[in-house]
Chains A and B, each alone.
Chain A
Amino acid sequence: MLKIENLHATVADKPILKGLSLSINAGEVHAIMGPNGAGKSTLSYVLGGRPGYEVTEGSVTFMGQDLLALEPHERAAAGLFLGFQYPVEIPGVSFVQFMRESANAQRKGRGEPPLSGGDFLKLAREKAALLKMDMEMLKRPVNVGFSGGEKKRAEMVQMGILNPSLAVLDETDSGLDIDALRVVGEGINATMRANDKAVLLITHYQRLLDYVQPDFVHVLAGGRIVRTGGPELAHELEEHGYEAVA
């Protein structure tokens, strides 16, 4: 589904990713762990196509397409979803309006008919319930006045509505209390655990991986994957730290 080869990327002319390679097949869950400054968030932004994150070498193929040649909104329509570490507040724009327009823009990009207002609300209600989120909150402006945990849950509601093929979730577990962590973990499983989907979890901690069990765990350090293993690697990291393991 996703094949990253020898990826080099700079931010403000500073090299951050230095030869990162990673393959993710449909049906798999991968976790990337690593110390601060290793390039974890940069990887998610490069995949999303954020302006200012420049690829200097290497390639990314997503479902047979050259991902790097696509605009950010085209990547979304192709089935890529980015869960933001810091979801952005957008005053004055209601969550429901934002999501409906986004979903329909994606559908248009894929040549599908738009969702009617009623169908969209039904879908939104269903996904909000899955994340135990009050529908009233989703009538409010996007992320404005949401707590850290509510923002992360709202991200997962968005993921449920947009139904992507690949979700790259950047520290979706940060800012969550124990109960919210379980709800978010279950939300990820319900939306993304399927034979034709895949997940890339970027995280600092083992705890989310108790709910969303990865097939592969990678250690990112110095802009490259320095070690790959099974779920046991995450436990090893938790116990001994990055320096001892990587």
Chain B
Amino acid sequence: MTALALPTRKDEDFRYADLAALERVWPVAIETIALAEGEHRALSMVNLGVRELVIVLAPGASLDLHVLNAGPDYGRLALRAELGTGSRFNFGAAQLAGSGQVLEVVTEVQHLGPDAVSQQTVRSVAGGSSSVNYLGKVHVAKGADGTDGSQSVRAMLLDRQSAANAKPELEIHADDVKCAHGCAVGELDKQALFYLAQRGLPPEAAKKLMLQAFVAEAFVGAADEEALQAQALAALEVML
């Protein structure tokens, strides 16, 4: 395989991708984020287009990465994170897809040394004929005991034509590890929508309020939490 060949559906990481959109930006440059021993950094990314990150965390380093993926038409964040001993990777992503959009997050988190912690929280909303995807692998290397890796993935579908694909995966080669993953695809709670309507909120306002709360879970702990929430709200207003 040559590195520059355009991926096809057969490539696992691209099975739900918008290949026509991908072709327009291919090949994608790989960006590296490397943190030195004990270094802490907090990053936010908004409306990224197609990006590919390699994250290297030296022992004891800690990275908070928060992402709002709302487009433009095809938004894709692929990342590989290599976690050294005792490092910490906290990843929160919200994806807000309106009609015609394909948004996806593809992660591979590698616990290479012992006692590293990774936490992934992905909240996706799909409206109209859009799709939101999450492909996430947590790999625990041999000897990486004391690993704590979690994936919390939820998607909300607003219309019949909306789709969500989620594939959390674990590959564990160590004995003493704690890995949790939760994954759910659903719709807005109809009882709650009626409750909000009975208090006077029109349907769009009620949906917006509930989706805002849902999406906010991805931004917990972000340094610029309020700014991300405000941008997410603006994106929701466009969608609804």
Chain A residues within CB distance 8 Å of chain B: 48-51, 71-73, 75-77, 81-82, 84, 87-93, 97-99, 101-103, 105-106, 109, 141, 158, 162
Does chain A have a CB within 8 A of B197?
Answer: yes
- Given the known interface contacts A84-B195, A90-B195, the answer about A51 and B190 at a Cβ–Cβ threshold of 8 Å is yes
Smallest beta-carbon distance B79→chain A, Å = 26
Q: Write 18 A-B pairs (CB below 8 A) sorted by A numbering.
A: A71-B203, A72-B194, A72-B198, A73-B202, A76-B199, A88-B189, A88-B195, A90-B192, A90-B195, A90-B213, A91-B213, A92-B212, A92-B213, A97-B209, A98-B199, A99-B199, A102-B199, A109-B200
Nearest-Cβ distance from residue A210 to partner chain B, whole angstroms: 28
**Given contacts A51-B190, A73-B203, could you give 6 more A-B pairs where the C-beta distance is less than 8 Å?**
A90-B213, A91-B213, A92-B214, A98-B196, A98-B199, A102-B196
Which of B196, B197, B210 has a CB less than 8 Å from the CB of A71? B197
Residue in B190, B197, B213, B216 whose beta carbon sits within 8 Å of that of A73 in the complex: B197
Chain A residues with CB below 8 A from B200, complex form:
73, 76-77, 102-103, 105-106, 109, 162
Tally of contact residues, B, Cβ under 8 A:
23
A46 to chain B, nearest CB (A): 12
Assembled-state Cα–Cα distance A50/B191 (Å) = 9
Contact pattern, B 177-214, Cβ under 8 Å of A = 1, otherwise 0: 00000000000011110111111111101100110111
B217, CB-defined interface residue at 8 Å: yes
Q: How far is the CA of A216 from the CA of B191 in the complex (A)?
A: 31
User: B204 to chain A: closest CB distance in Å?
Assistant: 10
CA distance A85 to B194 in the complex (A): 14
When the two chains form their complex, are residues B210 and A82 in contact, meaning their CB atoms are under 8 A apart? Answer: no
Cα(A122)–Cα(B165), bound, Å: 46
Question: When A88-B191, A88-B192, A101-B205 are in contact, do A76 and B198 touch as well, CB less than 8 Å?
Answer: yes
Please tell me which one of the listed residues B189, B192, B195, B201 contacts residue A105 in the complex, with CB atoms under 8 A apart. B201
Q: Known contacts A51-B190, A72-B194, A88-B195; decide if A102 and B213 are in contact (CB<8 Å).
A: no
**Which 4 pairs across A and B sit closest by C-beta, in order of nearness?**
A92-B213, A106-B200, A72-B197, A102-B199
Interchain nearest-CB distance for A115 vs B (Å): 13
Give the Cβ gap from B125 to chain A, nearest Cβ, in Å.
13
Please determine whether A87 and B197 come into contact, CB atoms closer than 8 angstroms.
Answer: no
Q: Could you say which residues of chain B place their CB within 8 Å of the CB of A49? A: 197-198
Q: How far is the CB of A11 from chain B (nearest CB, A)?
A: 14
Enumerate chain A residues within 8 angstroms of B192, measured Cβ to Cβ: 88-90
Q: A93-B209, A101-B209 are in contact. Are A76 and B197 (CB under 8 A)?
A: yes
Q: How far is the CB of B184 from chain A (nearest CB, A)?
A: 13
| Cα separation A99 to B217 with both chains bound (whole Å) | 21
A89 and B210 CA atoms in complex are apart in Å by 11
Distance in angstroms between the alpha carbons of A90 and B192 in the assembled complex: 7
A75 to B194, CA, bound (A): 12
Given contacts A73-B202, A98-B209, A102-B201, contact A90 B214 (CB under 8 A): no
Given contacts A88-B191, A92-B214, contact A82 B209 (CB under 8 A): no
